[in-house]
Each structure stands twice: as C-alpha cells, then as structure tokens.
Amino acid sequence: MNAPQRLGLYGAGLAALFVAAFVVAGAVVPESSVAAWSASAEDEAADGAEMEGMAGMDEQPAEAGPTPVRGLSLEQDGLLLSPVTVPDEVGEEGVLSFTITSADGEAVTGFETEHDKKLHLIVVRSDGDLFRHVHPTMSADGVWSIPWTWDEAGTYRVFTDFVPEETGENVTLSRTVDVAGRLSPEPATSVSAKDTTGGYTATLTGDLSASGDSMLTATITKDGEPVTDLEPYLGAYGHLVALREGDLAYLHVHPEGDEPAPGSLSGPDVTFMTEAPTPGRYLLYLDFKVDGDVHTARFVLDTTRRG
C-alpha cells in the first residue's frame, strides 16, 4: 500500500473513532465542537484521497516505440517469402519468380490492391545502385513471376511489398540473391537532393527526420521550367521508396493528398510523408510519369534531429 492510500485510510479511521467517542461523551463536550472536529477529520480523509489521485497522474502512458524497421526479414505476421528464382549470371535471360506462403506452407493468393497494384517488387543492389520497381503477375496457384535479366553482377535485395486480404495490413518481405559476373564496386554515396533522368530534373526539399514525421517535396522541372503535366502513377503523381544505407531497411512512404482521377495532370510538386527509424543516411528513389513514360530519380539524404 502506498503512502497516499495509508493517509486516506488513517484519516477515515480517525473520523469514525472521533464520532463514536463524541456520542459517548456528548454530555461533556458541546455538540458544536463535535461537529467541527468531525468535519475536520473528514477533510483529512478527502485530502488523502486527493493525494492518491495526484500520484496516479504521475504515471504517464508509455511513449510510442521507435518506427518499426521493415523489409529485413523473409517472414512477417506468419507470412513467408519463398526462395527467389532468378537467372544466375549477367546477361542471361530468364524469369524472376517467388511465392508468398502462410504459416502452414500454403501459397497465399488473396491480395488487396494498394497503389494500383496487388504487389510491388523492388530490386536493388546492396550498394544502392541499379534500382528497379516493377510489378510481376501471379498465376492461379500463387506463383509471382516477371521476365528478368541482370545488367551487372553483385548481391541484390529483393523486396515484396503487399497487403494480404486476410489481415488488410501492409507486409514487406525480402531475400537476397547473388548474381555472378565481374563486379565494379560503386564509389561511396554522397548527399544529393537533385537528380536528372530522361531530360527531367527532380529536386527534393525538406528534412528527413529520425525523431518524427518528415514532409518531403519533389519538384520536377525540364530545361529550367516547371513540369505541370505529371500523370497519375501508382495512385499518386509520384511514388517514393526510401532505404537505409547499409542494411537497406525499407521505409513506408505515403504520398500526400487525394488519389488523382484518371486522366488528370499535376505538377511540378509532389509531396510525401515518411519517418526514418534511426539516424543515418538514406537512399531515396522517386518514380514519376510524363507522356506515358516512367522516370526514376535517385537522392541521398542524411537524417536530422528536431528539438
């Protein structure tokens, strides 16, 4: 029993004792004094109860934990990514294929549509180079596949991003695959918030925070002029993937604003909301669509801390 509780019970006991004593001694002690002393004892009991309530106010709810790290495991929520079948060598034409299975080993075939697709496949080399974001098709028995050829050797991370119908919760699973061939290591990354691809320049503004939500805005220009004919792509006017340098942990990035109507155009700005799980350096990849063609810009940002 804590101190405030003991004070409350002690005060209440005194009140009862005093009242009983005053009933017996009523002939000696005036009734007005009995009433005053009894009220005083009751006030003490109330003060004890108030102290107990104030002590409870000090017990604040536990703070929310850090942003969960995703995409580093082949298993999540009882779902498993099977071994990924791919061509073994650079230049070899073949198929990339895999299956999502449940805890009992059965192939999962029920997926919700998220960002216009049932499943998003992200493939990137361990150094962050050679990023690809594509959408395989699923057979009736649950095997996902897409034609595939490797351009360069190395170790690659294969991410599958999807929402199973059974839970309605987003899941990101991954495996690594090795591709044989001559490897030319990429130089170390440096911070860059601007990239040019297909004649378009994409500039990323905003701070990537490791201590709260981050608002990032991508601005698309061409020949110095703002691009205002961005087409909807994957349920937005752009799609952003963010990976932590080193282990390639996968960040969930949300486009801001309502989903655009088919045939609508926008630009030059596309805004996203995200949060980095830890301080560090992050690789970001922006897909946007103009005149039916999808372009990918790459950025490198270091996190900032607020407060």
- The series of mean pLDDT values per 10 residues for the chain, 307 residues long, is 44 42 40 46 48 46 58 94 96 97 95 95 95 97 98 96 95 96 80 97 95 93 97 94 95 87 94 93 97 97 77
Domain that holds residue 8: 3-57
Question: Could you tell me if residue 65 is inside a domain?
Answer: no
Same domain as 24, residue 84: no
Same domain as 226, residue 175: no
Strand partners, 161: 120, 172
Question: Could you tell me if residue 187 is inside a domain?
Answer: no
Question: Could you tell me if residue 188 is inside a domain?
Answer: no
Q: What is the DSSP string of 55-80?
A: HHHT-PPPPP-PPPPBSS-SEETTEE
Q: Which of 26, 57, 88 is the last residue of a domain?
A: 57
Question: Could you tell me if residue 66 is inside a domain?
Answer: no
Same domain as 128, residue 29: no
CA distance 219 to 238: 10
Provide the CATH number for the domain around residue 172.
2.60.40.10
The answer to whether 144 and 96 have CB atoms below 8 angstroms apart is no
Same domain as 239, residue 163: no
Which tokens go with 285? Answer: 């990849």
Output DSSP code: residue 39.
H
Give me the pLDDT at residue 306, please. 55
Q: Which of 145, 179, 213 is the last residue of a domain?
A: 179
**Structural domains of the chain, count:** 3
Give me the pLDDT at residue 65, please. 53
CA distance 21 to 7: 21
Give me the pLDDT at residue 66, please. 55
Strand partners, 155: 178
CA distance 123 to 136: 12
Same domain as 270, residue 293: yes
Which tokens go with 243? Answer: 């990976």
Same domain as 200, residue 109: no
Same domain as 15, residue 103: no
Handedness of CA 22, 23, 25, 27 (dihedral sign): positive
Same domain as 166, residue 135: yes
Which tokens go with 275? Answer: 């949060």
